[in-house]
Structure 1
Amino acid sequence: MFLTLRLVLESFAFAWQALRTNLLRTVLSLLGVTVGIFSIIAVFMVVDSLEANVRSSMNFLGDKVIYVGKWPWVFAPNNPWWKYFNRPVPTAREFRLLQRMLPASSQNGVAIFVAKGGNTLKAGTNSVSDCALQGVSYDYRNVSSVPIELGRYFTPQETEAGRPVAIVGATIAKNLFPQGGAVGRQFKTHGRYFTIIGTMKEEGKNLLGTPSNDANCLIPYNAFATIYALSSTGMSGPSPQLAVKGRDDDPGLLNLEAEMRGDMRSIRGLKPREEDSFALNRPEMVADAISKLFSIIGVAGAIIGSFAMLVGGFGIANIMFVSVRERTNLIGIQKSLGAKNYFILFQFLFEAIFLCVLGGAAGIFLVWLITLLPQDSLTLFLSAGNISLGLMVSVLIGVLAGIIPAVLAANLDPVIAIRAK
C-alpha cells in the first residue's frame, strides 16, 4: 500500500513538473481534450434537459393512470388511422357504469373529463381570452394534478348537480381580478355566471406548449355539458375521455388494464371476436416514444462529439511521444538507479491521464457555465451522471493516448537511453 502511494505521488510530481516546464505546449494540447469533452457532455446535457422538460410538460397526464378514449396515442404499425375514425367517444353513461363495475380494490378513482379551448372569460371590465374550459367529475383530482393554492376543490354535490362553480388558473385569476381576492368572485362565459371557489398555483411556461393550469378553468362536467353539445363521435364537438387511477400494489397496472378492457367491452356489448371499439392509453406509451427519440438524438450527438474527442486524443498522444524523446536521458538515469519498467510505464501513463482529466474538467466547467445563463422555457442542468461520464471518458482517452508512448519509454535500454542527447 505504501509503495503504491509513493509511486502515485512520485508520478504526480514528475507529471506536474513536465507540465509546468512546457506550459504553452500543455495548454495547446489540453484544448483538444477540452473541446472534445465539452462537445460530448454538452450534447448529453441538452438531450437530458430536453427529455426532462418534455416529461415535465406532460405531467398533466398523471402517474399510474389509464385513459379510455377514441384514438390511441401511439398508432401500431399495421393499424391505419382511419381504422379508428368511426369509433364512438366515451360518454357519461359509460363513465357511471365503469365506475360501478370496477372494484375499489383495483383502482383509486374513476373520472370523466372534457376540454375545449379558445374561451373568453369576463369579470366586469376585465376579460381574458383563449382559455381552456374543462369539465371534470369529482374524482378528477385523483387522476390528475389540481394544485389548489387558495380556496377549495369541488364537492360531490357540486359536480353531480353541475353547479356554476369554477377553479381557475393563476393567469385567469390575475387578469380578471388584478387586485387579488379571486375566490368568491364571479365571471361570465358563454352567457353563464360562475363563482370561483379555488385558484391554482402558477406553473409558468413549458417546453411543448402543452396546456398548463395557468390558463385552465375547471368546472363540473355536467355544467360543461350544458354549454357544449357533446357528440357521440367527437367530430362535431369536444370529445370526453375516461381516466382510471391505478393502485401502487398493481405493478405495471396489468390487472387494472385487463379489468378495464373486459368492463368496457361488456358496456359496449362487443362480441368475443369483435375488436375493441376504444383505446386504452397510458402515459408510459408517450414516455417510451420520447425515450427512444432522445436516445437516437443522444447517440448521434455523441458520434459527432467523438470526432472532436479523437482529435484531442491524437494531440495528447503526440505530446507524450515528444515528452518521451525529451526525457530519454532522464529515463536512462532512473533505470540505472534501479527504477523498474512498471514505474516508468506508470509515470508516463499517469501524465497522459492527468493531462486528459485536466482538459476534461475544463470542458465540464464550460458546460456548467452554460447552465448559469438565463433560461426561459428550457431549463438546462448538468447531472452527476454526465459529470462522471466526462471524467471517465477523459481517463479512457488518457489511457489510449498514453499507453504506447509509456510502453516505449518503459522498454528503453538504460545504456542507450543515458547516452541520448
Structure 2
Amino acid sequence: MIYLRLIFESFRFAWQALKANLLRTILSLLGVTIGIFAIISVFTIVDSLERNIRSSVNFLGNNVIYIQKFPWAFGGDYPWWKYFKRPSTNIREFRLLDRKIENDEGVAIFWGRGGNTLKFGNNSMSDVNLQGVSYQFNRVSDVPVGQGRYFTVADVDAGRNVIIVGYQVAKNLFRDLDPLGKTLKIRGLKFTIIGVMEKQGDSFLGMPTNDKNAFVPYGAFNKLFSIGQQGLEPVIAIKGCETDIGLQELEYEIRGVMRNIRGLKPRDDDNFALNRPELVANQISSMFQVIGLAGWVIGGFSILVGGFGIANIMFVSVKERTNIIGIQKSLGAKNYFVLFQFLFESVFLSLIGGGIGILLVFLLTLIPQDAMEILLSMGNIALGLGVSVVIGVLSGIIPAVLASNLDPVIAIRSK
C-alpha cells in the first residue's frame, strides 16, 4: 500500500507542478513530444512501407525455390557472360524433379507473357498477363479462385483450351454477365472460362496482382506462343516446408538432383540458379533498417533536449519543495521514499510528453491514404512509452538523489 500511495502522491505533485507552471512545463515537455513523434512516426511509416512491399511481392509465393537460368541478384566472381550460355529449364527437367524430389509440397512449371489482348464479343481488354501452368501451380503460387474451379489433371494433360481469369478481366469483358462457361478469344483461339479469381485490388508500387492475370494449361499456352530454346523460357518452382531448415535441405536436394540431371562433374559450376523470395525480403529489411536508424538519430536530438527540459523542471521542483522534503524526513520518511517520489514525478512528466507524441502519430494514421495503409502497431506504442520512461528516469535521477540526501534540519529552515 505504501508504494501505491507513493505513486499517487507523485502523480499529485506532478499534476500540481503542471498546473502551477503550465507554460514552463509545456515548453519543457515539447522536446520529448517532438522526439517521440519523430521516432514513432518514422518507425510507423517504415513498418507500413515494409508491410505493403512484402504483401506486394506475395505473388512470388512463400517458401518457394525458383529454378531459372539467371539469378535474381548478381554477385561473386562468376563472369556475367557465362549466364547467357546456360541452358534453359525444360519440361523434361520438371518431370524428373517432380519424380525425384522428396522434401517438397509441390512442383510446378510455368511460362508467362504480358501484353495480351483478350476479347469477348465487342469487348476487349489489353495488357493482360497470361501464364501457362502445370497442375500443381496452385500449390506454389496463390491462385484464389472465387468462382468456378481450378484446373483438373485432365485439363492440363490434354492441354484443353480452358482458362482462369482475374477479377478485373472478368469485370471488363463481361460486365454484369456471369463469365463462367463463356468463351473468349486470345490471338484468335477460343478458351472457355472455368474460374474467376477473387478481387485483390491495386498493389503497392504497382506490383503485379491476379486481377489482370489469366492462367491456362501449359499445353494450351504452347498453341499460342513458341516455347523452348527459340521461344519463351519456363520457370520451375518448388515449394518447401514452412521451416528455414526444411527449405535449406530442399535447396541442397534440388541442387544435387539438377546437377545429376545435367550431368555436371564435381568440379563444374552450377549452370542454373536457385532463387528464393526470401532474398528479396531480406534486402527490403536491410534497407528499412537504415531508415529506422535515421529515425533514431533525428528523434534522438529532440529527446535529448526534452530530457534536459524535464531535468530542469525537477531541479526547480526540488528547490520549491525543499521545506516540504524536510518536514517529510523529520516525520520519518526514508530516503528512498523521497527519491521515488521525485523519480515517479519525472517519469510521469516524460510519459505525458511521450503520450502526446504517440497521439499525434495516431492522428496521422487516420488521414486517408490511397497509395499505402499506415497503421500504428502496439509494438511501436510500447516502444514510445518505453523510451519515455527511460528518458524520465535519466532526467529525474540526479534531482531525486539530491532531494533524498537533503539534511532535514537544513531543509526545514529553507524558504
Q: What is the TM-score when the length of structure 2 is the normalising length?
A: 0.95
Give the direction of change, closer, same or farther, for the CA distance of 1:359–1:77 in structure 2 (3 Å limit): farther
Corresponding residue to 2:208 among 207, 211, 216:
211
Please point out which of 150, 154, 159 is paired with 1:153: 150
Partner of 1:417, secondary structure, is helix
1:150 is paired with a residue whose SS is strand
AA partner of residue 245 (structure 1): K
Q: Which deviates the most, 164-173 or 88-97?
A: 88-97
**Matches for 1:22-421 after TM superposition, within 5 Å:** 22-79=21-78, 81-103=80-102, 106-232=103-229, 237-248=231-242, 251-421=245-415
Note the alpha carbon deviations across 1:276-334, whole angstroms, 9 max, x for none.
11111112222222221211221122112211211211211121122222222222332
Q: Which moved more, 1:287-296 or 1:108-117?
A: 287-296
Structure 1 runs of 4+ off > 6 angstroms? Answer: none
Query: Relative to 1, partners in 2 of residues 1:282 and 1:35: Cα closer, same or farther, differing over 3 Å?
Result: same
* Structure 2 counterpart of 1:384, one-letter code: M
> What is the CA–CA distance in structure 1 between the aligned matches of 2:215 and 2:49, rounded to whole Å?
29
Superimposed CA distance per residue, residues 173-209 of structure 1 (whole angstroms, 9 cap, x where no aligned partner): 1000111311111211212111111000111112232
Comparing 223-232 with 357-366, which one deviates more in the overlay? Answer: 223-232
> Which SS does the other structure have where 1:14 is aligned?
helix
The whole-number CA distance in structure 2 between the counterparts of 1:248 and 1:340 is 57
Whole-Å Cα distance in 2 between the matches of residues 53 and 61 of structure 1? 14
Range 376-385 or range 110-119, more displaced = 376-385
Q: Is the 1:15–1:347 contact (alpha carbons within 8 Å) kept by the matching residues of 2?
A: no
SS in 1 for 2:151: coil
Unmatched 5+ residue regions in structure 1?
Answer: none
Name the counterpart of 1:7: 6
SS of the residue corresponding to residue 58 of structure 1 reads: helix
Residues 164 and 223, structure 1, Cα contact 8 Å, conserved in 2:
yes
For residue 227 of structure 1, report the CA deviation from its aligned partner: 1.5
Q: Deviations over 1:112-164 (max 9, x none)?
A: 01111111111111111111011111100111110000000111111122211
Range with greater deviation from structure 2 (310-319 or 395-404): 310-319
Q: Which whole-Å CA distance do the structure 1 matches of 2:413 and 2:116 have between them?
A: 89
Q: What SS does structure 2 have at the residue aligned with 1:344? A: helix
TM-superposed deviation, 1:80: 5.0
1:53 alignment partner, SS class:
helix
SS, match of residue 274 in structure 2: strand
* Identity rate, percent: 62
- Out of 345-354 and 328-337, give the one that drifted further: 328-337
SS at match of 1:37: helix
Q: Which runs of 5+ in 2 are unaligned?
A: none
Task: Measure how far apart 1:259 and its partner are.
Answer: 2.0
Q: CA deviation at 1:341?
A: 2.0
**Cα RMSD after superposing both structures:** 1.8
Secondary structure, in 3 states, of the residue corresponding to 2:204? coil
Change (3 A) 1:356 1:248: closer
SS of alignment partner, residue 85 of structure 1: helix
**Whole-Å separation in 2 of the counterparts to 1:195 and 1:167:** 9
CA distance in 2, matches of 1:158, 1:196: 12
Give the 3 Å change call, closer, same or farther, for CA 373–91 of structure 1 in structure 2: same
CA distance in 2, matches of 1:292, 1:199: 37
Separation in 1, partners of 2:382, 2:302: 19
> For the residues of structure 1 that align with 2:84 and 2:378, how far apart are their CA atoms?
47
Cα distance in 2 for partners of 1:11, 1:180 equals: 70
Give the whole-Å Cα distance in 1 for the aligned partners of 2:273 and 2:341.
65
Residue type at the aligned position of 2:223: T
Residues 237/318 of structure 1: CA separation in 2 closer, same or farther (3 Å cut): farther
The residue type paired with residue 338 of structure 2 is: I
TM-score normalised per structure 1: 0.94
Deviation, 1:211, is 1.1
Closer, same or farther: CA 358–82 of 1 in aligned 2, 3 Å: farther
Judged with a 3 Å threshold, the aligned counterparts in structure 2 of structure 1 residues 378 and 79 are, in CA distance, closer, same or farther, namely farther
In 1: Cα distance, 2:352 partner to 2:199 partner: 43
CA separation of 1:379/1:7 partners in 2, compared to 1, >3 Å: closer, same or farther?
A: same
